[in-house]
Copies of this chain bind each other. A is one copy, B any other.
Amino acid sequence: MPESIAHSISKMKSDCQCENCVLRNLIFAHVPETDADVLCEVKKEKKFKKGEIIIEQGAPISDFFYIKSGLVKLSKVSDQKRNYIITIAKPHDYINLLTIFHEKEYAYTMTALEYTEICIFPLNLIIDLTLKHGNFALGIIKKASKTSDAIIDKFIKHNSRNLRGRIAMTLLDFSLSIYKSHIFELPISRKEIAELIGMTTENVIRILSEFRKEDIIKINGKEIEIIDFDRLKMIFDHG
């Protein structure tokens, strides 16, 4: 067997093997095997170190990204030159959101917050499959629109809370949704927390200190331990 064929077969077999991959399962459920194989074959995987930029706001859209592992920050410079973090994406998220369907340029800068593996597919191939296979399209829309709606919801939640409420919200979010532990290492700086929830760095620091003094959390650099969940929840609820 010529090496090239052997190689391509091994590639097919090895490339889409993550059993918990949401995208893979969507593809396998709704796309005929031949198409699915093509997709898996052209798939590229890229690894990013903590802090590395995956794609920059304004770059022409050419690919569809899927987070295999790691954590990705989506940020954007506002028309007022202020930096905003839109959301922090987790494994199995499509980090392009819906922008790819109607824009020519990536709307957000994506940065790896920790060691991150990204699966990359040519966008036109994804679009082709979207056009050919309705259920695949619907699956993509469902997940992407859920993310978009969650972002809108996050903004509403922020805007109806004071600073303490927002910090409480952020800590609860990291603890419950991302790390699923009462103790975790913050993946972002105080400045970035400020950019995530729209306040100043000084006040992020100040309020974290307050929470520490009130025995709600323990702080050790970037390590946070939530010791009084109920109080934090209360501050979130009625802050």
Contact = CB atoms under 8 A, between A and B. Distances in A.
A34 interface: no
Interface in A140-196: 141-146, 148-149, 151-152, 155-157, 159-161
A133 B146 CA distance: 22
Interface stretch (A5-13, A50-58, A77-85): A77-85
Interface residues of A, number: 41
The majority secondary structure among interface residues of chain A is: helix
A107 B137 contact: no
A172 to B, nearest CB: 13
A135 interface: yes
Given A152-B86, A157-B78, A98 B101 contact: no
Contacts of A102: 141-143, 145-146, 149
Contacts of A69: none
B198 A98 contact: no
A99 interface: yes
Contacts of A97: 145, 149
B80 A148 contact: no
Interface string A39-77: 000000000000000000000000000000000000010
Contacts of A157: 78-80
Interface string A77-112: 011101010100000000001110111000100000
Nearest to A142: B102
Nearest to A149: B99
